[in-house]
A = this chain, B = another copy of it.
Amino acid sequence: MKPWFDTVAIIGVGLLGGSLGLALKQRGLAGRVHGAGHRQTSLDAALERKTIDAAFLDARASVEGANLVVLCTPAAMVTDKLDEIAPACLPEAVITDVASTKADICAHAANRWNAGRRFVGSHPMAGSEKFGPEHADPALYEGRVAVVEKGDGLDPEAQRAVCALWEAVGSRVVELEPAMHDALVARTSHLPHIAAAALAVVAGRAGSESKPLIGPGFRDTTRIAGGRPEIWRDICLTNGPAIEQALAELEPLLAELRAAVRDKDEEALMAFFEEGRRMRGELADE
């Protein structure tokens, strides 16, 4: 069943927010889309691209009368924005976000609303190297996974509405508790990004002589190091404990491998690469 939201407020009209606005309008899921942003130029671009119907420099004003509020600001700003807009939201409004980390944000919301919480965290796993309102794409969420918070204390109707929202724009919903979400993405997304950046640094510091030797393996392995540093700084700031733990799992593997290389330990080397291949196949067979 398609959900229907009379008025939707999207706080932050960049790639994720703009794409959601377009998707809601084109699929007939929303009556009117309010967009809030810091800069008039971004809002003008969003209006021109028709990702939103009305523009607001004041986030609080944008949520007045909204049935659905989606925070699409950078992860590190979500809790502040939530505090700013919450007093102006309708009591029955459903509120969600799109940040890549969930435990901090959902814990903050849980402090604010004791029971029957109508903020339900989301992490739609969509995005690209592009950013900004001009790249908004109504198909951005199609065929992607959207993680939606589950757990005690949530208003069940709000939780169902958030699931229905992402399904309606084409995503497959996976419900996870925030801590589990953060632990898993630390290993499937954040750690790979950190490793990609570190590999690029090691090769880059070795000098430009390495450039002709760059092949498809290096390109694939380091591709995500091209992402925006601000995003990844924020992810490290908001998912610190899980990332520390994931690094603490990676580091001894590398140290063991280094010992096996030093000792020419054929069995240990074979076991390492066999486990890598098996795990890669199980998680991401192509």
Which residues of A are interface residues toward B (Cβ below 8 A)? Answer: 125, 144-145, 147, 172, 174, 180-181, 183-185, 187-189, 191-206, 208-215, 217-230, 232-233, 236-237, 240, 243-244, 246-251, 253-255, 257-258, 260-262, 264, 266, 269-270, 272-284, 286
Contact = CB atoms under 8 A, between A and B. Distances in A.
Contacts of A272: 197-198, 201
A236 B221 contact: no
13 contacts: A174-B213, A188-B210, A188-B213, A195-B221, A196-B276, A197-B276, A202-B253, A203-B279, A228-B277, A229-B276, A232-B273, A247-B254, A247-B258
A240 to B, nearest CB: 5
Nearest to A173: B212
Contacts of A198: 195, 250, 253-254, 257, 272, 276
B217 A193 contact: yes
Copies per complex?
Answer: 2
Nearest to A209: B184
Contacts of A243: 258, 261
A230 B274 CA distance: 9
A200 B264 contact: no
Contact of A229 (B203, B224, B264, B270): B270
B250 A202 contact: yes
Contacts of A255: 251
Given A218-B283, A218-B284, A253-B201, A187 B206 contact: yes
A233 to B, nearest CB: 4
Contacts of A228: 277
Contacts of A262: 240, 244
8 closest A-B pairs by beta carbon, nearest first, are A197-B276, A204-B279, A229-B273, A200-B280, A192-B221, A225-B280, A200-B279, A233-B269
A222 B286 CA distance: 12
